Amino acid sequence: MEEKKLTRRQLLKQSALLGTAAAGLAILSEGCSAADSVTIQPQPANPAKSASGKPKVVIVRDKSILGDDGINQKAAEQMLGRAVAKLTGKSSGAEAWKSLFKPTDVVGIKVNCLFGKGVSTHPEIAYAVAAGLQLAGVKPENIIIWDRSTGDLVKCGYIPNKGAGIKVLADDGDWGNEVKNGSFHGRLSKILTEKITALVNVPILKTHGMAGISCALKNHYGSFDNPGAGHKGGCNPWLAELNAIPQIKDKTRLVVVDAARLQCDGGPGLQVKYQFDYYGLLVGFDPLAIDRVGLDIIDQQRKQMGREELGLERVKWITTAATSGVGEADLSKIELIKI
């Protein structure tokens, strides 16, 4: 697909989202050379477990994240800074980001844009993550926001960019070699396998008619070529086996869940009558622990609405993922921190 040059209006919009981008970026090159060839680097020591060995999940909530015009990115940046500081035990958000990422990293921000506005990762949340990465010294050109399709990114408000500054890219059918793990088989994203050294998983939390919920693990159904093949049996065991693949598991440095406005039934498509304002972000290192906490949040809302809770019997892949070594699924063994 031919890349269109950004107009001045688009550049100003993107700069507003970024908060740190220069409004004078006028001409974009067609290449992506800064991230075309990378050397996989050792992951910094994971500080995201408590002294007892429990994975931490931080929930930060603030009504200022939602305004009349949608997501308040500046509020999201501040909330995220507080959350990563609490997660890592650092004195500030900047120090926390520096403990997780290095200036030499090339970082992918995986978003979920398949079903359009309202049930997809808000651009402001993705750019809040990008702002945090820059506090760690990661160069804008070494940050890649991505999903499967350019069309999906555009309909959710993202501006495709292969040139200067933060990249916004899609796979658009250009997949890598097939990977197999148990019953899972698929061709992974080249962005994931070839272009990045580290991954920030940035899903949105909502219900899903087949999987039960869609959050961190389900977000990677946009990281390979044949997701339609993996929905049988409520996505079990495909979803667990996909997320156990080293290319995903070993590159994941952080999970940041867009939980500003959630949907507790009728997903994955937009069902406004089942949406509720949660005003939050969920932040952690363990994607399965994040999903288990997310399921609990969804079930609490369903209970308030008089609807049947989903529970682990409905979302079987959570238990399968725990036995596959993806992460922790026992709430009693997860340290939940609310700020």
pLDDT at 48: 56
Helices 123-135 and 8-18: angle between axes, nearest 10 degrees: 60
**45-338: CATH topology:** Rossmann fold (3.40.50)
pLDDT in the model for residue 25: 26
In this prediction, residue 47 carries a pLDDT of 57
Residue with structure tokens 């804008």? 140
pLDDT at 163: 96
pLDDT at 49 (0 to 100): 62
CB-based contact 17:124 (threshold 8 Å): yes
pLDDT, residue 69, reads 86
Specify the amino acid at residue 326.
V
Question: Where are the domains positioned within the chain?
Answer: 45-338
Report whether 121 contacts 203 (CB < 8 A): yes
Which SS3 state, helix, strand or coil, does residue 67 take?
strand
- 339 residues of the chain, pLDDT tens digit each: 433 344 434 443 444 444 433 333 222 233 333 333 344 344 444 555 667 789 999 999 999 999 988 999 999 999 999 999 999 999 999 999 999 999 999 999 999 999 999 999 999 999 999 999 999 999 999 999 999 999 999 999 999 999 999 999 999 999 999 999 999 999 999 999 999 999 999 999 999 999 999 999 999 999 999 999 999 999 999 999 999 999 999 999 999 999 999 999 999 999 999 999 999 999 999 999 999 999 999 999 999 999 999 999 999 999 999 999 999 999 999 999 999
Report the pLDDT value the prediction gives residue 68, as an integer from 0 to 100.
Answer: 87
Two tokens, residue 4:
């269109």
With residues binned 3-state (H G I as helix, E B as strand, rest as coil), the percentages for the chain, rounded to 5, are 35, 25, 40
